[in-house]
Structure 1
Amino acid sequence: MRPTLRILWEDWADRDLPLPSYETAGAAGADIRANLPPDIRAAGFTLQPMQRRIAPTGFRMAFPPGFEVQIRPRSGLALKHGITLPNTPGTIDSDYRGPLGVLLVNLGAEPYTIHHGDRIAQMIVAPVVQAAFAVVDTLDPTGRGEGGFGSTGRG
């Protein structure tokens, strides 16, 4: 099943910016753009090193139950400038109807300016299975057992 994400523009949003889009035929993530409010569109906003800020996208969305939207960093911004998301991946639940903002952090050594229309993150639409939880007296044994961090390889 290919879900449809229904998009609702915010009143102030620049509707000339593209909706989230897959940039190549094989892309797993749809790029999301910063849609800045009119008072900061011309200048954008600057993230100082280690600063966090929510970048608005100018829209809200709805999608069917049984799916989530994951918000992930763009690899080029992370590699070249240290711009990433501190809560990666960010999860949007199917019952959330508020504005979509992307929490960015600058892990780079230099200030970085987010401009109106910049591609700032990508969204992945993924199926979700809600589990049942049951308390038991024992767990079935495995070859790994209780081995934790780093127990299956070097380091």
Structure 2
Amino acid sequence: MQKTVLYFCDRREKVIQLARIKYDASLMKYMSLFEKVTRARVKDCFSDKNNILVFVVQETQLGKAVGKKGVMIKKLESIFKRRLKVVEFSNDLVQFVKNYVYPIETRVISEEDGIVVIEGADARAKGLLIGRNAQNLRALEEVCRRYFSVKEIKVV
């Protein structure tokens, strides 16, 4: 499945190729089991660098996926024997970034010309957003590039 987005500006046509998403057999099994247990629609699933399984669910499906007091997440973590993170998808880039970095507190998230600027609430929040050697920031950029045309993400 390859996504192509057309943008028309300055009377020139630009074609931006978004990241091509590929799934292996194990990810397909994880997605299928997640949907069976939670009854929430999964948009995407991937494993991050810390070996945490990240599920991106459709809009308005987060409550179903998490369950009351996180029951579904705890149940799935015991089944998969891995840590899980569930993120609600949004067609709005700013809202998606806000959903992805939650529970880290941010003041303002803005986007202009493919550059996303995140204002951390305090020094601790900035440190968590950036991570050691900017690994958290690069991981966030990689995830955003799966769905949106993002050039760079900055934390101020």
TM interval, short-chain normalised: under 0.3
Normalized per residue, the structure richer in helix is: 2
Q: How does the TM-score come out when normalised to structure 2?
A: 0.23
Q: Please, what TM-score do these two structures have when normalized by structure 1?
A: 0.23
Choose between structure 1 and 2 for higher RCO, CA contacts under 8 A separated by at least 6 residues: 1
